[in-house]
Structure 1
Amino acid sequence: MNEQLSDVLLIIGTGTMLVFGLAAFAITLIVVYRRRYAAHQTELTQLHEAHQREILQAQLETQNQTLQQVAEGLHDHVGQMLSVVWLHLNCLHADTQATPYQASVTELLTHTATLVADVRNLSKSLSTDTITRFGLRACLNLELDRINRAAGTQQAVMQVTGDAYSMGQQTETILLRMVQEALNNALKHAPGSPISLLLVYQPDELAISVVDEGPGFSMDSLQVRSLTMSGQGIDNLRRRASLLGGTCTWQAGEAHRGTKVILIIPRLNPIEDNQAKPGSKTYPSATI
């Protein structure tokens, strides 16, 4: 009887151990599967982000090449032709001294000189060579000078805090195009409004703000705009900020409260192979 009881207990114990063993094995399989699935999903996400980054970078490179060609065309052809016109107007100005036409020639000469300077500055702002040579701050100064010259007043001002450092040629080129788009949006939607550009250099990131005092807008209103009325400015800025591993946000008020665009870009970001590291050199604003 005791032997039978021992056999039964042995069978029960063995069965219990097998059940626990199978349960542990199943739990282990589930845990391993979930970890591998999560790792696979993470890898797919990273591959998708890398693919999107490559597509956007290719688009930006194509855009930069196009802008570079436009800049060279402005400098080599339009700029030279305007210089010829300016020289001829100078000669005409000398020939019309003490005549009723001199005042008109003088006005044309002034406008032409302004146009020559504007084309020259526009060519520089479109050229990628300019930002490579002089850096982001100098190019933004040039952009604001172009805006103020067109407005005929000090419409746009820039303030820089912190020790400026290089973000790398590719990153600064993208940042320049982003700020140019934000400034153009401010000029379009808040014409005549004062515009403030703020650059805050922090050890690990660069914060850029573009603020206008225009009528502002509601973010909800953008979602219900028709196809013909909708734009791509906000989406373009967000995509480019994401490409740089950063963010682009809006503080958009209702009527008469203005709009603020905020770019936060990490100093070390995915787009730049040779990013500036802590301890790298800083540079002052250059004169173009």
Structure 2
Amino acid sequence: MQQSKAQLIIVLLFGTFIFLLLCAFIIILLLFFKQRQRQNLTEKADIHTAYEQAILQAQLETQNQMLQHVAEELHDHVGQMLAVVVLYLNVLHEETSETPYRERVAKLLTHTTMLVNDVRGLSKSLSTDTIARFGLVACLTLEIERINRADRAEQATLQVLGEPYQLGEQTEIVLLRMVQEALNNALKYAYDAAITLTLDYQPDALMLTVADEGPGFSMSEVDARPLTGSGQGLHNLRRRATLLGGTCTWQTAPQQGTRVTLWIPRKDKPVIDKSPTTN
């Protein structure tokens, strides 16, 4: 009798052990399945992100090629034709020096000369070679000078904080196009308002801010616009910032101006030598 009880206990213990082992196996299998599911979702998200970045990169390269072509056309053809016009206007100005048309020709010559300078500046602004040769700060300085040549009530200003460093040619080309778009938006909606462009070179990242004192707008109203009335400017800026590993944010409200902030991480951080110095 006691032997039967002992055998029963052994069978129960063995069955319990098998049951627990089976439960552990099922739990491990479920955990493994969940882990693989998370990995698959992560891989799909990475593939989707890489695909979007590849598409955006192709779009940017196409845009840069088109802008480069436009810049060359402005410089080689439009600029040369305007130079010829200025030459003939100078001759006409001398020939009409003793006539009542002198002042009109002088004004025409002045405006045409300004147009030549604007075309040259625009050509440099659109060319990708300019940023490769002179860097981001010089190109944005040129942008501010181009804006200030227009007849505006307030001047645009550029502030550079910290010690400028290079972010790489491709990154700076994308940043230049982004800032140009933000400045164009400011000019479109706050033409006569003060505009401030700030470049804050921090140790780990570059923060660019385009702020205007214009009428501002409601972000909720912009998001609620139908397809026919919505623009791609804000969306494009966010996508490009993501391509560079950074962020793009807005601060705006009706009658409170608009502030666009680009935060772009610095990939090639300088190595700081912390070894003790010897005298």
TM class by shorter chain equals over 0.9
The one-character-per-residue Cα deviations of 1:232-279 (angstroms, maximum 9, x if unpaired) are 11111111111111111110112x2101011111112xxxxxxx4415
Alpha carbons 2:136, 2:176 under 8 Å: kept: yes
Q: Which residue of 2 aligns with 1:112?
A: 112
TM-score by length of 1: 0.92
Q: Secondary structure at the match of 1:265?
A: strand
Q: Which residue of 2 aligns with 1:261?
A: 260
Inter-partner Cα distance in structure 2 for 1:238 and 1:247? 7
After alignment, is 42-51 or 114-123 more displaced? 42-51
- Cα 1:25–1:87 shift into 2, 3 Å: same
Q: Which residue of 1 aligns with 2:134?
A: 134
After alignment, is 170-179 or 143-152 more displaced? 143-152
Q: Which residue of 2 aligns with 1:161?
A: 161
Q: Which residue of 2 aligns with 1:229?
A: 229
Q: How far did residue 154 of structure 1 move?
A: 5.6
Q: Secondary structure at the match of 1:198?
A: strand
In the alignment, structure 1 residue 147 sits paired with structure 2 residue 147: yes
Inter-partner Cα distance in structure 2 for 1:153 and 1:66? 33
Alpha carbons 2:204, 2:269 under 8 Å: kept: no
1:264 maps to amino acid: W
TM-score by length of 2: 0.95
* Identity across matched positions, percent: 58
Unaligned ranges ≥5, structure 1: 269-275, 281-288
The one-character-per-residue Cα deviations of 1:161-206 (angstroms, maximum 9, x if unpaired) are 0111101111100000000000000000112001000111111111
Alpha carbons 2:216, 2:252 under 8 Å: kept: yes
RMSD (Å) for aligned C-alpha atoms: 1.3
Alpha carbons 2:75, 2:120 under 8 Å: kept: yes
After alignment, is 55-64 or 143-152 more displaced? 143-152
User: How many residue pairs align between the two structures?
Assistant: 272
Q: How far did residue 71 of structure 1 move?
A: 0.3
Q: Which residue of 2 aligns with 1:35?
A: 35
After TM superposition, the structure 1 = structure 2 runs for residues 1-288 of structure 1, keeping only pairs within 5 Å, are 1-151=1-151, 155-254=155-254, 256-268=255-267, 276-279=268-271
Q: Which residue of 2 aligns with 1:286?
A: none
- Cα 1:258–1:154 shift into 2, 3 Å: closer
Moved over 4 A (4+): none
- Answer 1 or 2: higher relative contact order, Cα 8 Å, separation at least 6: 1
Q: How far did residue 95 of structure 1 move?
A: 1.4
